[in-house]
Structure 1
């Protein structure tokens, strides 16, 4: 699956109305099928006749009208509950986490079931005719409306439970952590270009200087079709140097890449523009730090004076530590892409040091006066160090441990708390480990 296609799928998930619209369409189609089946005189094999609605046209109209009016009212209630949940989540966990609630399939499906039942009832209701109008009662359609109404009752009960658990901070943290783990597994898989170990010899040389390429538009860089760009550069005998990576904000007229060795400047600019996807929001398809920033935002908001919830920050640190343990046996992407033994693309990537900086800097700064969070941060670094085997990564973890101790010495006034903090400082691994 290409990065552009993955970003397109992610963008579809951000559109709240797609699933409800499909369910409304399904309700319309199902209603038409039920009416046509009744008009054709067909029956449902294996279904007892007693289970099928057998009343007259007045009862059918009353029942269908009741189902339609009640489901559209409940749909408005579910929408109001969703908006209230979004407002609560925005105030406590940050507005950027609203994306996870908008993308939630449960919220979309619940609203779609109510709206689909409403559409189904209307489609069937329009076919009910009295004796004066050539009597017709869609018994199968009315029975279907009864079944859908019962399904709506169950959906409403489930939806209340889903919203109540969905706004729980632990649930939100787990959802974001699952997205981060998926990004780690997706972006660090070996494909011949994903080794971050420093080789014995200089890698492939410094990135060459070339003609700058600018974009007229602006917005967040959501995805780069790096494979297509590398293939184009290999075919042209050029070298492309990307000056921005997914997650960065692109300014209009600013250089986003440099191209060296290309014969035609306009062709190079067209290839770069075709490979870039901009948007109003960041995306997780190619940005490893996207979910990290979401988790860090939850922790820093929890540590603000207005909330003062160190337990939430500790829960975030547990997930960040688990992510680093997941990264331990993996190799992060290299900043170069090779085609036929020649470097054709230089790109900006997230290395281990940058990943740790994104995880711990802001939390450490916000928790400078919170001994409990700083102590747990040191414990997390120590547990990750016990799993990590690479010396350069262990050195990075020790660097952050030193920054935590230094912050504690400045922000912690109680000598006992400071002593407890320093006692948990990770010990450097023994040589030859």
Structure 2
């Protein structure tokens, strides 16, 4: 496989790890502490000498030790805030939010800032201890240490703001929605045309078996297309981004076009290796992960332990925003063609109906007994159905409204709440399947 996809996997793993930038920060602190620790100005640019603090060696060591003590104390506060945020995100909303929290660009700079400052102070203090200089002299290292301690204070405020963010449901929903919409926009630039009708797989096709276990984070379509053209093949990839697979399971199929030899085991393994796997789902390529996170928030809010229908409605509001965005785009399998226009590679991707089912299935089952939640789900299906451009997508949205009504009728025995759900179902189907015209005012969903 080409180097670029491999680097993409490594980049994804490094962004999930909180230690990558911390190790880099410790190296920077080590180098700066070694270079500036014993310097008094002989080899330092004049502009830095002008702002350097003038102290004796003993005073410099005392200041470094004091800064180090402050940094260690502040670092313990940062760890406490981080643990609080992770616990809140996992317990109150969804464990799948933890990876997004760890990959937040603002948060990934907090720990490295403290590590850089601590290592710099330790190394600079040790370097000063090796000097035999007497008297007062400018110490550029002290000036840099003071700058770093201000940077650490700013990092502490950033961590405090992030902790407050994950406590509010509205902030979490906005955060997930913005990131998912960015992924949706990136998805529109993927190579190939979209096919609403699946390209059938031949009964004589050779299975492509996974070379490892994990989650699909992408497909190297260039490798697949070039290999298919070179060896006269047609390739189907049956696993979509975000799906979990086990080593040895079938991820696709391949067959020769026209008369020719069967696909060899080596060729099948090389084609299967073009399906990129990782230990966790990739939020930069996986649209369904963002939907799943919002669904988890809604389901957790509807559980008996939490019983917070309004939080579920907030999550549904943002799911509706994402579905409307998806409804206006071409979705479905990607088809890559050769120079003669023949389909060579078919890559499985979710359709609008798949996204709509993901966004409504679990919430409609767990919130069936709550009329307010059911009505908001119906309005979400209505908004998505009105935005859909194809008749098939509109039919999918209409079918979802019938399912929501069925579950609500099964979960409740009647009353004004159920009548409200029935009225909302009729209104949603009318707007989805017919031309939108003024009708009776619908009930508010607040």
- The TM-score with structure 1 as length reference comes to 0.89
Q: Which residue of 1 aligns with 2:264?
A: 265
Q: Which residue of 2 aligns with 1:308?
A: 307
> Residues 92 and 59 (structure 1 numbering): CA distance in 2 closer, same or farther, change over 3 Å?
same
- Give the SS at the match of 1:209: coil
Moved more, 391-400 or 378-387: 378-387
**Does residue 1:430 correspond to 2:425, yes or no?**
no
Q: Which residue of 1 aligns with 2:213?
A: 218
Q: Which residue of 2 aligns with 1:81?
A: 81
Q: Which residue of 2 aligns with 1:17?
A: 19
Q: Deviation digits for residues 284-324 of structure 1, max 9, x if unmatched?
A: 34433222111111111111000111111111111111112
- Give the SS at the match of 2:333: coil
- Give the SS at the match of 1:95: coil
Moved more, 35-44 or 258-267: 35-44
Shift of 1:271: 1.6
Looking at structure 2, the residues matched to 265 and 154 of structure 1 have their Cα atoms a distance apart, in angstroms, of 59
Moved more, 153-162 or 114-123: 153-162
> Residues 190 and 213 (structure 1 numbering): CA distance in 2 closer, same or farther, change over 3 Å?
closer
Q: Which residue of 2 aligns with 1:72?
A: 72
Question: Do the aligned residues in 2 keep the contact of 1:302 with 1:310 (CA within 8 Å)?
Answer: yes
Q: Deviation digits for residues 54-103 of structure 1, max 9, x if unmatched?
A: 22111111000111122123223312321222122211112221111221
> Residues 239 and 170 (structure 1 numbering): CA distance in 2 closer, same or farther, change over 3 Å?
same
Q: Which residue of 2 aligns with 1:119?
A: 119
Q: Which residue of 1 aligns with 2:54?
A: 54
Looking at structure 2, the residues matched to 158 and 188 of structure 1 have their Cα atoms a distance apart, in angstroms, of 33
Looking at structure 2, the residues matched to 271 and 244 of structure 1 have their Cα atoms a distance apart, in angstroms, of 16
Aligned counterparts, 1:296-375, within 5 A: 296-340=295-339, 341-375=341-375
Looking at structure 2, the residues matched to 95 and 432 of structure 1 have their Cα atoms a distance apart, in angstroms, of 40
- Give the SS at the match of 2:290: helix
Looking at structure 2, the residues matched to 431 and 295 of structure 1 have their Cα atoms a distance apart, in angstroms, of 31
Looking at structure 2, the residues matched to 431 and 114 of structure 1 have their Cα atoms a distance apart, in angstroms, of 60
Stretches of structure 1 lacking an aligned partner (at least 5 in a row): none
Looking at structure 1, the residues matched to 108 and 262 of structure 2 have their Cα atoms a distance apart, in angstroms, of 50
Q: Which residue of 1 aligns with 2:152?
A: 152
Looking at structure 1, the residues matched to 160 and 376 of structure 2 have their Cα atoms a distance apart, in angstroms, of 35
Question: Do the aligned residues in 1 keep the contact of 2:254 with 2:263 (CA within 8 Å)?
Answer: no
Q: Which residue of 1 aligns with 2:36?
A: 34
Root-mean-square deviation (Å)? 2.8
Q: Deviation digits for residues 182-205 of structure 1, max 9, x if unmatched?
A: 222122347441253x6xxxx865
Question: Do the aligned residues in 1 keep the contact of 2:84 with 2:163 (CA within 8 Å)?
Answer: no
Question: Do the aligned residues in 1 keep the contact of 2:41 with 2:139 (CA within 8 Å)?
Answer: no
**Does residue 1:234 correspond to 2:233, yes or no?**
no
Question: Do the aligned residues in 2 keep the contact of 1:303 with 1:367 (CA within 8 Å)?
Answer: yes
The number of residues matched between the two structures is 425
Q: Which residue of 1 aligns with 2:443?
A: none
Shift of 1:130: 8.4
Q: Which residue of 2 aligns with 1:383?
A: 383
> Residues 386 and 210 (structure 1 numbering): CA distance in 2 closer, same or farther, change over 3 Å?
closer
Q: Deviation digits for residues 331-370 of structure 1, max 9, x if unmatched?
A: 1143432222122223322011111111111110110111
Q: Which residue of 2 aligns with 1:165?
A: 165
Shift of 1:237: 0.2
> Residues 209 and 297 (structure 1 numbering): CA distance in 2 closer, same or farther, change over 3 Å?
farther
Looking at structure 2, the residues matched to 192 and 249 of structure 1 have their Cα atoms a distance apart, in angstroms, of 24
Stretches of structure 2 lacking an aligned partner (at least 5 in a row): 438-446
- The TM-score with structure 2 as length reference comes to 0.86
Question: Do the aligned residues in 2 keep the contact of 1:190 with 1:331 (CA within 8 Å)?
Answer: no
Q: 1:209 aligns with which of 190, 201, 204?
A: 204
- Give the SS at the match of 2:128: coil
Question: Do the aligned residues in 2 keep the contact of 1:97 with 1:294 (CA within 8 Å)?
Answer: yes
